[in-house]
Structure 1
Amino acid sequence: MEISATGRLEVRITAADVGKRVSVRRLGDDPGVVEKFTDTVGVLTSWDNGVLLITRRDGQTIRIAESSLVAGKVVPAAPARRRGPAATYEELSRVSARAWRPVESERLGGWELRAASGFTRRANSVLPLGDPGLPLDDALDAVRKWYGGRGLPAYVQTATGAAGTQEVLCAELERRGWVREVSAELWTGALAPLADRAEGAGVVLSREADEAWLGRYQRKGVGEVALKVLASGPSVWFATVPGEDSPAAIGRCVVDGRWAGFAAVEVDPGQRRRGLATTVMAALARRALDEGASAAWLQVETDNAGARAMYDRLGFAAHHAYHHYRQPAVSGGDRYGSS
C-alpha cells in the first residue's frame, strides 16, 4: 500500500486510472472480524457513482465502495512467469484461433466474427483483438445481428490475467447484461521435455481423423462442419492408441511456427491412470518438434482438476484465463439454444 512521508496510508488512484492494474486496501464489511482490512489487486475496470470494480487475475470482479478505501496505488504489471515460454496474449490468441478455424468469419474492425453452425463456442464467438471501429454498443448490435442471421446466439470471447487483455471489456459486457457462461485457461509449456517422454511405439499418427478416432472423441454426432473445424490449422496431426474394440486414447495437435497446440486428449475410462494421455501428447510433441516447434499450449477448463494436475506435472503453467460471454436474453424469452 502507498504510505506517505508521515507514515499514513493514502489513496493515490482516481477514476482516471481505469484500465490500469491497481492495489487497494479497504475496510472490511464484517465488524466481527479481527482483521478489519481487505486487500485487492487487479485491473480497475470502472469507477462510477462511488463504486469501484476491480477484475482479478482469475476473472472475478470485486465491487468496492469508494467510501471504504483507505489506501490504493497503481502497480506494475504482474511479474513474468517462471515457467513456460514467453508470449503475449495477442500472439497466443491468434495461434489458438488458427488451430480451431470457423467455417465462416467476417471482420468488424479489429474484431473477428466466427461461426461454425454452433459447433463449440470457440468457433462461434467474436475474438476482439483490437478496436471494432464502432462505439461499443453499435459494435455489439452488429454482432447480435450477424449471429442472429445465422440462427446462433452471440458470444464474445474475452480474457483476464495477462498483460494486454480485456478486463475492461469484461466489465463493460457485464454492465450490459452479457452473461459469462464458461471460463477456461490457456496453459503453455516447453515442448522438448514433453517430446522426450515419447517411447515411439503404440501411437499411430495420421493427418485425418478416421472413424475410430471420432468414435472416441467426446463430442458425439460429429458432422461435416465439425470435421472441417477439427481438420483446420496450419499442420494438423491426430494421434490414436489402438485398443481391442476402440481406441484406448486419442489426441490432436496443430503445429504453427514455434507453437504446438494440443486438444481432444481423451482416454477410454477403463484405461485411465496408465499414462496413456501423456503417451499421446509425447508422440505428438515429438512430431511437432521435428517440424520446428519449440513451445506448447493447450486449453483446460477451470473445474477439470485431473487434467490440470497432469498438465502441471508435464511442465505446463497457466498463461491467462479466457471467458465466453453470451448475449442477454431478448425480450419475450431467449430464442436461441445452447451451443
Structure 2
Amino acid sequence: MNSSLPETAVPQTDFAALADAAWPALERARVGAWQVRFAEGVTRRANSAWPAGGEADASPGALAAVESAYRERGLPPLFQLSGNDGAVRQRLIGRGYRVADETLVLAASVAPLFDTSTDAAVELADEPSAEWLAVWWAVDGRGGDAELDVARRILTGVPALYAGLRVDGAVVSVARLALVGGGWGGLYTVATLPDHRRRGYSERVVRALLAAGAARGVRDAWLQVLASNSGAIALYSRVGFTEAGRYSYLVGRLAVPPAGACRA
C-alpha cells in the first residue's frame, strides 16, 4: 500500500459504492440484496448488478431474479464482483457465465502529491464540451450518436471536473474527476488520441485534474483500470496510485439457456 495513503482510508472505504455514485446508471432498482443498474447497455459499469451494502446473495432464486431484470430490458445479465464474492462467482460460472475484464482499483492521497500550480495547456471545465466528448469517444466509445448521448448523461449525472490538453489548437487528451463528496474524487475517462501518445499528455492531464480537485476539497482519489493495461498502470504508479482492491464482471447469456444446460 502506498505510504501516502492515510492508514484508515482504504480499509474503511467501499470503492464499489464510490464508483456507483461516480458513474451513475440512468436507472437502478433493488432486487433482493442486489443493486441492479441499467443504462441502455452503454458501459458495463452502468449495466451491472452488485451486492450493495452487504454480502452477495448466491441463491438460485436471487440470481434468477437479477437475470430476469436484465433480460426483460434486452440486456445480458451482468454481475460486478470483488475478490470477496467467491461463492457467487462459482455459482454464476456454474450457470454458464464467463469472467471478463479483471479490473484493479487504485487509490492515492491527493494533497501530498499535487500543488496548485497550473499547466497552461490543460483546460478545466465543469461540463464536458462537444470537443472533449469527441476525443474520449474516439478512444473509448462503442456505438454511435445515441450511445454517446447515453454516455454523456452518465458522465453529467454527478458533479465532476473535466480536463482537456490542447495542442496546436485541438484537444488531444482528456480526463474526468467525479466529485462524490466525503473528500473523494474518482478519476475516469483518461484518453489520448493515438497520434499524440507517448508524449506525457495523459500524465499532464491527470496531474492538472487532481490539482484542481484538491482545490475543490478532494483529499483522496481512486480509479479503475484493466489489470491487463500495463501502460496505464505504469502511468498511475508514477502519479502515486497503488492497488486498493480489484473486481471483475461475470457475463451471462442474453437468452435463457435450455433446461439442464447449466448447474445452479
Task: Settle same-fold status: TM greater than 0.5.
Answer: yes
Is the Cα–Cα contact under 8 Å of residues 116 and 212 in structure 2 kept in the other structure?
no
Matches within 5 A, 1:1-339: 82=3, 84-85=5-6, 86-88=9-11, 91-129=14-52, 130=54, 136-160=59-83, 165-196=84-115, 198-217=117-136, 218=139, 219=141, 221=144, 222-233=147-158, 235-244=159-168, 246-256=170-180, 257-328=182-253, 330-331=256-257
CA deviations on 1:33-80 (whole Å, 9 max, x unpaired) are: xxxxxxxxxxxxxxxxxxxxxxxxxxxxxxxxxxxxxxxxxxxxxxx7
For 1:294 and 1:324, locate their aligned partners in 2 and report how far apart those are by CA, in whole Å. Answer: 29
Number of residue pairs matched? 247
| Structure-2 separation of matches of 1:109 and 1:127 | 11
CA contact (8 A) 1:89 1:320 kept: no
Q: Distance in 2 between matches of 1:90 and 1:167?
A: 20
Deviation, 1:93, is: 1.1
Structure showing greater Rg:
1
Q: Which amino acid aligns with 1:253?
A: L
Which segment is superposed worse, 147-156 or 198-207?
198-207
Q: CA–CA distance in 1 between the matches of 2:212 and 2:13?
A: 26
Larger relative helix fraction: 2
Deviation at 1:103, TM superposition (A): 0.5
Distance 1:138 1:198 in 2: 55
Inter-partner Cα distance in structure 2 for 1:240 and 1:247:
6
How many angstroms apart in 2 are the aligned matches of 1:267 and 1:195? 21
The amino acid across from 1:203 in the alignment is V
Alpha-carbon deviation of 1:245? 5.8
Query: 1:263: how far off?
Result: 0.9
- Give the Å deviation of 1:168: 2.6
String of CA shifts for 1:105-130, please: whole Å, max 9, x gaps.
00123321000001111100001132
Q: Contact (CA 8 Å) 1:83, 1:316: kept in 2 or not?
A: no
1:138 deviates by 0.6
How far has the Cα of 1:136 moved from its partner? 1.5
Q: Determine which structure has greater relative contact order: mean sequence separation of CA pairs < 8 Å that are 6+ residues apart, divided by chain length.
A: 2
**More moved, 310-319 vs 196-205:** 196-205
Structure 1 position 315, deviation (Å): 1.3
Task: Check whether the contact 1:84–1:316 (CA below 8 A) recurs between aligned residues.
Answer: no
Q: Distance in 2 between matches of 1:89 and 1:173?
A: 28
Shift of 1:81: 6.4
**5+ long unaligned stretches in structure 2:** 259-264
Cα displacement (A) at 1:331: 3.3
Question: Which runs of structure 1 show a deviation greater than 3 angstroms over 4 or more consecutive aligned residues?
Answer: 80-85, 197-200, 328-332
Residues in 1 aligned to 2:33 and 2:58: alpha-carbon distance in whole angstroms: 13
Aligned equivalents of 2:116 and 2:197: distance in 1?
A: 18
Percent identity among equivalent residues? Answer: 31
Question: Aligned partner of 2:172: which letter?
Answer: A
Tell me if the contact between 1:84 and 1:317 (Cα under 8 Å) persists in the aligned partners.
no
TM-score, structure 2 length as denominator?
0.85
Residue pair 1:215, 1:246 contacting (<8 A) in 2 also: no
Q: Shift of residue 326 of structure 1? A: 1.1
Query: Are the structure 2 counterparts of residues 180 and 109 from structure 1 closer, same or farther at C-alpha, using a change threshold of 3 Å?
Result: same
How far is 1:176 from its partner? 2.8
Question: Is contact 2:163–2:174 with CA below 8 Å preserved after alignment?
Answer: yes
Sort the Cα spacing of 1:304 and 1:198 in 2 relative to 1 into closer, same or farther, 3 A: farther
Tell me the CA shift for residue 193 of structure 1. Answer: 4.0
Amino acid at match of 2:5: G
Structure 1: which 5+ runs fail to align? 1-79, 333-339
Root mean square deviation, CA, Å = 2.2
Take 2:34 and 2:257, find their aligned partners in 1: how far apart are those partners?
26
